[in-house]
Amino acid sequence: MYPQFCQFAKAAAQRVAVATGNPALSKARVPIEPPTSALVMSAGYAAGNVTPPMIPNVTANVLTRSPKGVNAPDATEVAKDTTTPFGLSILVEQGSCDPERYKVSGNSVGNSNTINTINTIITMSNCTIIPVPALQDNYMYLIIDNETQQAAAIDPVDVDAIQAAALTANATITTILTTHNHWDHSGGNLKLIRSTPTIDRVYGGVGDDVPGCTHEVTDGSTFSIGTKTNVSVLFTPCHTQGHVCYYVDNAHVFTGDTLFVSGAGNFNTGTPKQMTEAFDKILKLPDSTNVWVGHEYTAKNCAFACYCEPNNKEMKERLEWAKSRGSIHVGGRGTIPTTIGKEKACNPFARIDVLSVMEFCGPCVNVDD
């Protein structure tokens, strides 16, 4: 993550240089050589093995290794307390969302591998959002139009689980929204289409070769789910060449593998400049926007964020909160949704122009793309 973060920082610095007309600023935030501890941290991320003791004031916890090599807190270590500084309940308490528009409830949804508890179901005036865990750390989602009970399935890789969620919610899946073409997001499309005759639309990013796609979309594309739930598209290529995010009902954004809680996706087919531009688009949304991500990577992302800004109290609190919440996939409570405002406060990729993040990157040189 460290080399990727620094590439991102360089692209952001060049953006600032262009905006200000000061070429000297393009030399900012590109480390000549990362500190040894950072290289060790980066290697740990690549191996799916974060080392908490490297981070000040963080204690190691029990970890369970999944088949994908991603570490998650053991279910026995997950705290029972549902009062969290970053949960939806605090959004209502702090006035960040209108309690008359939001209703929160719990529900259990069957997964083809395990039975997982869905702790966050948000009902608004126009739509209901239901997150559904899949595989080892993926999130699928149902967006249900409240007036018609018609639903869109986002990245439905686990067909059995998404159909069970729809059945429980008394919803009819009519639409598939695919953020990008990777198998763990689009791999269930064709099976879901074959088994669900009510599906008449499959959306995916232009040029992304999404399986079963009937409508390719790009920046500014709009459509509706049912009669009341409006969707607009943010074109965010980098992780894949046609990656898109979906902005729903002026209140929710589904970011796939572009923005994670306190992190960013890999630059698989794109450049740091493209990821910077993608973040710019997402971060322009209102701070109260709920952010629904593609994977439960929060604890390890927060570990890196604390390493980046060791004096940031809010980041330390978020790390402890993420560890206490655990992953839905292993019996925990999960960490979604986040908000745009929280990402601006706790995501190093959203804080690239903050002085403490600049200082983290150390001595700099201008490096060609």
Rounded CA-CA distance 164/107 in Å is: 12
- Indicate if the pLDDT at residue 37 is higher than 70: no
Cα-based torsion angle of the residue sequence 75, 80, 85, 87 in order, rounded to the nearest 10 degrees: 80
Higher pLDDT, 228 or 73: 228
- Indicate if the pLDDT at residue 311 is higher than 70: yes
- pLDDT tens digits along 254-305: 999 999 999 999 998 999 889 999 999 999 999 999 999 999 999 999 999 9
- Indicate if the pLDDT at residue 74 is higher than 90: no
Rounded CA-CA distance 200/197 in Å is: 8
Reported as a pLDDT band with limits 50, 70 and 90, residue 15 is low
Residue 59 confidence (pLDDT): 24
Residue 190 is encoded by which pair of tokens?
A: 């064709």
pTM: 0.74
Higher pLDDT, 301 or 99: 301
Rounded CA-CA distance 133/120 in Å is: 12
Rounded CA-CA distance 291/143 in Å is: 13
Residue 88 confidence (pLDDT): 26
Q: Among the residues of the chain, which ranges form H helices? A: 2-20, 36-46, 88-93, 159-168, 183-186, 189-195, 272-283, 298-308, 313-325, 340-346, 355-361
Residue 345 confidence (pLDDT): 94
Reported as a pLDDT band with limits 50, 70 and 90, residue 314 is very high
337 preceded by a cis bond (ω within 30 of 0) = yes
The mean pLDDT of 44-68, rounded to a whole number, is: 29
DSSP string over 263-317: EE---SSS-HHHHHHHHHHHHTS-TT-EEEESB--HHHHHHHHHHH-TT-HHHHH
The mean pLDDT of 86-103, rounded to a whole number, is: 28
- Indicate if the pLDDT at residue 50 is higher than 90: no
Active site residues: 180, 182, 184-185, 239, 257, 295
Rounded CA-CA distance 291/55 in Å is: 26
Q: How big is the chain, counted in residues? A: 369
- Are 38 and 2 within 8 A, CB to CB? yes
- Are 187 and 213 within 8 A, CB to CB? no
Residue 97 confidence (pLDDT): 29
Higher pLDDT, 53 or 314: 314
Mean model confidence pLDDT for the chain = 75
Percent of the chain scoring above 70 in pLDDT: 65
Which residue bears the tokens 């991500």? 293
Reported as a pLDDT band with limits 50, 70 and 90, residue 49 is very low
Reported as a pLDDT band with limits 50, 70 and 90, residue 32 is very low
- pLDDT tens digits along 342-366: 999 999 999 988 888 888 876 555 5
- Indicate if the pLDDT at residue 54 is higher than 60: no
- Give residue 113's identity as a one-letter amino acid code: N
